[in-house]
Amino acid sequence: MRRLFALSVIAISLVSARQALGLTILSPAPDQVVREYVKISIPLNELPPEFVIPKGEQAPDKGRPFLTLYIGSGGQENFVAAISGDAATVKGNTVTFYWDSKAPYRDPQDPKVERYYKDGPYTLKIQLHDSFGKIMDSASVNIILRNKIPRSNPAPPVRLVHKLSYGESHTYRVRASVQVFETVGVGKSSGIGLPILGGLGLTSDSKVILSVEDVRPDGIYMLRLKMGEEGYVSSFGKRQRLYQPGEPTPELYRLVDKYGNVIKRNMFSRQAKYSITDILPILPRYPVVEGDSWPSKCNLKIEGITDVIPLTGTSQLDSFEWQSGRECAKILSALSGASTISIDNGRIRSTSDTVTANAVTYFAYKTGKLIRSEITLEFPALIMPGAGQLEGAETTGTTTSPYVSPTPSPISPMPEPMMDGEPFGPYTGRRSSSYPAPTTTTGSTDYGQGVEMAKKGTVQIRVVVQLEK
C-alpha cells in the first residue's frame, strides 16, 4: 500500500513538474525579424496526446485540447486565432501553424472596424487549453514585425505599369464574404456593431483566368477573361455551384491599356450580355512617390452575390511592402458608387443608394503584376425579422429570380456594335450557372411589411483577389 502511494505521489509530481515547465516555442526565435506568414512551431511531445488525432482514429466525444494565439504590444494583447490539431501541420516531433501578420483583426469594443498590425516589436503568446477551455500552459516570445521594404529618404519616384506579354496567362482567385453588424446600445454607447451572422454567412469563391491574346505597339492589351468552372456560393456551409461541370463558363475579350484603363469591356457583341469583375487596378500615368494620389475606378462584380457595382474614387501610393514573397507597391483606394443592395432574400436591405469601398492593392512594380487586392464594401442596412439564413442576393437595382431561361436578359440594353470579322466567340450559348442569375429591373425600393420591426445595422462585404499562378 505504501509503495502504491509512493508511486502515485511520484506520478503526480512528474505531471506537476511537466505543467510547470511551460510550452517551448521553437519558432520564431527570440527577437527574430518576421514578415507576412509567420511560422510558429512547438514540440509535439509538450502537447496532450489527443491534440493530434492520427488518421483513421476517431476524435473523442468529450472534445479536444486546442491552442490560442495572442499578439501583444504596449501592454495590450489581441486574440488572433484558436488552433486545433487539424489546423496544424505535424512533422516528426514538431507541430507547426502560421500567423498571417498582414490579416486584419478586430477590437471586441468596436468589432466593425478592421485594424492592421504595423511594423515594430510585438509579443507572440501561445496558450494551451483543455477541451473545456481551461488554460493548461502558455509560452511567449518577442518578435520584430517588418513587412515594409526599407527605402532611401528621400525615395526616388517609381513608375507603376502593367507589364504583360503575349501568350502569358494568370489565374486569380476571387473570394468574398458577407458580414452583418446589428447596431446595439443607446445613448453614448449607440452605434456599436454586433456581428449577427458569424463566420458561416454568405460567401463566394470563383476564379478568373486572364490570358493575353494580343499586345499592340501603343501599349494596348487584348485580354481574354474566362470564369473557372469550380466557382460556388456558400450559404451557412451549404454550397451551390455557379456553373455546371463540363459546361462552358462566361468568357469575354477586353481591351485594356498598360495603366489598367478599360478601353472596351466586351469586344464582341454576342458576349455583351456577360460581365466579369475588373481584375487589373488603375495605375498613375506618371512616376509617383509615397503619398501621391491619382483618380481610380473599378467595376466590381461578386459572382452569385451581386451584379456589377461601378465604383470611382482616388488611389494613393501608401508604401512598399512584401506580399507573397514579392516587393510590392501598397496602394490604398477610397471608392464609392451608386448602388442599392439586398441580400438574404430581401431580409437585409441597404438604406442608402450609395455604397462606399476601401481597397488595398499589392502591385509587384518590378515585374508589373497584380499580386493581391482586398476590397471592403460597406453600407447601412435594415435587418428584417428572420434574417440570418441567406438564400440569395441582389444588387444595383437588380432582383434575383430563379434561373429559368436558357438565354438571360442582357445586362446592357444596348450591346456594343459588331466588329468586322467578329467570331462567334467561345461562349455565346446559354448561361450554365445553377445559381439564380441576377436580371436587371427598374423601380423604386419598397421595403414592404415588417419594416416597423426591422433593426438597423451595417453590412460589410470583403472581396479578396489573389494571384494563384
Q: From first to last of its 469 residues, what are the pLDDT tens digits of the chain?
A: 444 444 443 343 333 333 434 789 999 999 999 999 999 999 999 999 888 876 656 656 677 899 999 999 888 888 988 888 888 889 989 999 999 999 888 777 777 677 889 999 999 999 999 988 899 999 999 999 999 998 888 889 999 999 999 999 999 999 999 888 776 654 444 454 555 554 446 889 999 999 999 999 888 999 999 999 989 988 777 888 998 888 788 999 999 999 999 999 988 877 777 889 999 999 999 999 999 999 999 999 999 888 889 999 999 999 999 999 999 999 999 999 998 888 777 788 888 889 999 999 999 999 999 999 999 999 998 888 776 554 444 444 333 322 222 222 222 323 333 333 333 333 322 233 333 433 333 334 454 555 557 788 888 899 999 999 7
Q: Is the Cβ–Cβ distance between 277 and 302 less than 8 Å?
A: yes
Q: Is the Cβ–Cβ distance between 158 and 287 less than 8 Å?
A: yes
C-alpha cell at position 365: 512594380
d(CA 272, CA 40): 49
C-alpha cell at position 363: 502591385
Closest CA to 51 of 131, 139, 127: 131
Q: Which CATH number fits the domain 21-145, given the four candidates 2.60.40.10, 2.30.30.60, 2.40.30.10, 3.40.50.300?
A: 2.60.40.10
d(CA 139, CA 362): 34
Q: What pTM was computed for the model? A: 0.76
Residues 37-91: tens digit of each pLDDT: 999 999 999 999 888 876 656 656 677 899 999 999 888 888 988 888 888 889 9
SS3 call for 364 = strand
SS3 call for 245 = coil
